[in-house]
Amino acid sequence: MTNSLHIVVCAGVVPDPLQTLEPVTGASGPGIKNEMVLPAVLDPWAASALCEAAHLIANNPESKLWLVLLGPKAKLQQVMMTVAQKVKFELVAIDGPIGGFADAHATAAALADAVNSIAGLDRSKFLLFGGWESASRGAGVTLQLVGERLGVTDQFQGVDRIELREDGSFEVLERVEGGKHQVSVCAGAPAVLGWATGNLPEPKNNPQIGMTNMRSIMPALQKAKTAALDGNGPRYVSVCLPKQQRTTRVVKDLAPDAIAQELVEWMGGQ
């Protein structure tokens, strides 16, 4: 027996983490230096959620997958050139800021409104996926707030695996403290799952899937609604990189016990 699912993955576009990201304070508030010039990628945490969703969709016929993506429209198009070749989905685009200084409540409101606008979404089959954390919006509460705005109270965070059962229920493997996992059983949809890294590899590029997706992606980008993400969150007076501190001493012929003791005393004073 198979389960028909309607999975919505909430994601954001972020600057490539391999680039040097320098925070600056501009006229409109804090941001990243040369942000619009930096290459962009799909948020790595949300990318794991998308991979897991694609696996579930592939193994459960008549299921549907939507990607709700937030970022500047120009960057959304750039990222879609790569992501569209990996997984078949319907795009719901939101034209908004890329940086990580937006208020989590405002971000959640924009994402929840986009989910509510999806035509044909069956709440009895609805699973909301996203990143447990984020490379830019790492507040740790955004996906939870989206679920609450949508009235979904069954929520799991730090998910590494989900196994569907024949009766529509599913088993969830969540990360907990101490390097351990908690096993939970949910009676069924709707539910919110904030993914950690998951356990599935990234899908390979498939040009045929990319061509199919692009037929619907371009119109979706043209219809992208603008989200200013103005909220009542914290106000940043200034932003800057942490200052580097380096103190070096060259000492010869020091006994190992003396070195260890000095390190302990140094760490105790930090």
Q: Is the pLDDT of residue 171 over 80?
A: yes
Q: What is the pLDDT of residues 35-84, one digit of tens each?
A: 777 778 888 888 888 888 888 888 888 888 999 988 888 888 888 888 88
Q: Contact, 156 vs 172, CB < 8 A? A: yes
Q: Contact, 35 vs 100, CB < 8 A? A: no
Give pTM, 2 decimals: 0.78
Q: In angstroms, rounded to a whole number, what is the distance separating the alpha carbons of residues 56 and 229?
A: 32
Helix (H, G, I), strand (E, B) or coil at 7: strand
Tokens of 21: 């990201």
One-letter amino acid of 130: G
Helix (H, G, I), strand (E, B) or coil at 103: coil
- For the beta carbon of residue 252, count every other beta carbon within 10 angstroms: 4
Nearest to 154 by CA among 182, 120, 178, 188: 188
Residue recorded with tokens 């989206």: 146
Tokens of 87: 């997984």
One-letter amino acid of 206: N
Domain architecture of the chain: domains with CATH: 6-226 (3.40.50.620)
Q: What is the pLDDT of residues 176-217, one digit of tens each?
A: 887 788 888 888 889 999 888 777 777 788 888 888 888 888
